[in-house]
A = this chain, B = another copy of it.
Amino acid sequence: MAARGANDPDRRDRIIAATLAVIGERGVHQTSHRVIAARAGVPLGSLTYYFDGLSDILEQAFAALAERMSEQYRATLAVARSREEACAAVVDLICGSYASPDDVRALFEMYSFGNYDAKVHDLCRDWLLLSRASLGLHFAEPTARALDALVEAWPMHQAWEGTPLDRDYVAAVVQALVDRFEPAAESATV
């Protein structure tokens, strides 16, 4: 088993990807070695070659998810070349452009699992600080802190209501916070 694992460098990544897919579809409470192995198309025993138990698999899967989401979050903001474009990017983040429904469900699972697992708790904290730092490319800390709360909550609320958010309304909320907390709201951030 070890030799087969060592001969297939993609296998670990495939197991991670399968784990995130299973978590997104079924939730952590219905995730098992058996389901992950079947989804990844690998022998059950290969999971123990790469990972030290189910918690380790989940921790590494959530780490991969947080890394990817953080990069997407940052990329959405990094391309903005003015305060106006930065606000539009925040509206995009809030209205859910950067995360698939499966990703949003997997994030929920990460938050929830993080209450009972120290490593995933740290991932949640780091993901929060990275998001705020990405907003910090364009906004002062008090603005960033409030905007990130909206990016956190509104996609969740949108999923429960089953109706898309009104982009004009979201833009007005973003603007109200920028007007209140940015020292020079009119200046471009380039």
Interface residues of A (CB under 8 A from B): 26-31, 105, 108-109, 111-116, 121, 124-125, 128, 142, 145-146, 148-150, 152-154, 156-157, 159-162, 169, 172-173, 176-177, 179-181
Min CB–CB distance A141 → chain B (angstroms): 10
* A146 (CB) vs chain B CBs: closest residue: B173
Is A116 a contact of B152 with CB atoms below 8 Å? no
- Complex: A161 Cα to B180 Cα, angstroms: 24
- Complex: A159 Cα to B181 Cα, angstroms: 24
Residue among B125, B152, B160 making CB contact with A161, cutoff 8 Å: B125
Is B115 a contact of A108 with CB atoms below 8 Å? yes
Interface residues of chain A: helix, strand, loop or mixed (majority): helix
**Chain B residues within an 8 Å CB radius of A154:** 149
Residue among B27, B116, B160 making CB contact with A124, cutoff 8 Å: B160
Is B161 a contact of A157 with CB atoms below 8 Å? no
If the complex has contacts A112-B109, A115-B105, A172-B180, are A121 and B152 also in contact, measured as CB distance less than 8 A?
Answer: no
Is A27 a contact of B160 with CB atoms below 8 Å? no
Min CB–CB distance A84 → chain B (angstroms): 18
**Chain B residues within an 8 Å CB radius of A159:** 115
**Chain B residues within an 8 Å CB radius of A124:** 160
